[in-house]
Structure 1
Amino acid sequence: MKLKGLICLFLAGYLGTFFRLYIDNNFLISILGSFFVGFFISKRLSYSSEKILFSGFFSCFTSFSGFIYFLFKVLNQGSWIKFIIFFNLIIILNLLTMYFGFWISRKFT
């Protein structure tokens, strides 16, 4: 990747992090991120645009660590059943939201 691409990647990561801090809601961030990832997956993006968008913006915006931190707090309370329910619910809901974004994107093209 050229210098211009790296600068765009860093800026995309910065913007993803900024929006994540501005919204400050792990569940909403997860749903929005899944929807837009699904939306952009169906688009024909160039290699550099794909890397900038997915590795830069969305990886900083959705941040897996927020998901893990939430599950850790639930697990730390000692409720295994609540942990298993939230874990599965979050994964299934995000997959469905991602598919919905993909489907919406296909309808507009």
Structure 2
Amino acid sequence: MKIKSFFYILLACYVGTFLRLSINNNFIISILGSFFVGFIVSKKLSYSSEKILLSGFFSCFTSFSGFIYFLYKIFNQGDWIKFIMFLNLIIIVNLFTMYFGFWISRKIT
């Protein structure tokens, strides 16, 4: 990759982080990110465009640490049933949302 591509990845990271902080809701961010990642993955993009969007924008926008922090707060409360329910619910909903984005993208093209 060229230096220009790294600059674009950094710019995409900045925009993704800014939008994440603007929305400030882990569940909505997770759903939106999963949908658009599925949408982008189904497209035939160039290697650098994929890296800019997936490794740059979406990695900062959907930040896994927000998901883990949410689960950590529930875990610290000692509510194991709620913890297990949210863990499974979030993963399953995000997988279906990503597949839906993939499916929608295929239907459009």
TM-score range, shorter chain: over 0.9
Task: Give ranges in structure 2 of 5+ residues lacking alignment.
Answer: none
* TM-score using structure 2 length: 0.99
Give the C-alpha shift of residue 99 in structure 1: 0.3
2:86 corresponds to which letter in structure 1? F
Matching of residue 59 in structure 1 with residue 59 in structure 2:
yes
Give the C-alpha shift of residue 3 in structure 1: 1.2
Matching of residue 26 in structure 1 with residue 30 in structure 2:
no
Within a 5 Å distance, the mapping from 1:5-24 to structure 2 comes to 5-24=5-24
Aligned Cα root-mean-square deviation (Å) = 0.4
Distance (whole Å) between structure 2 residues aligned to residue 78 and residue 63 of structure 1:
24
Distance (whole Å) between structure 1 residues aligned to residue 74 and residue 3 of structure 2:
43
Partner of 1:50: 50
Partner of 2:87: 87
Task: Give ranges in structure 1 of 5+ residues lacking alignment.
Answer: none
Runs (4+) of structure 1 exceeding 6 A deviation are none
User: Quick one: percent identity of the two aligned structures?
Assistant: 76
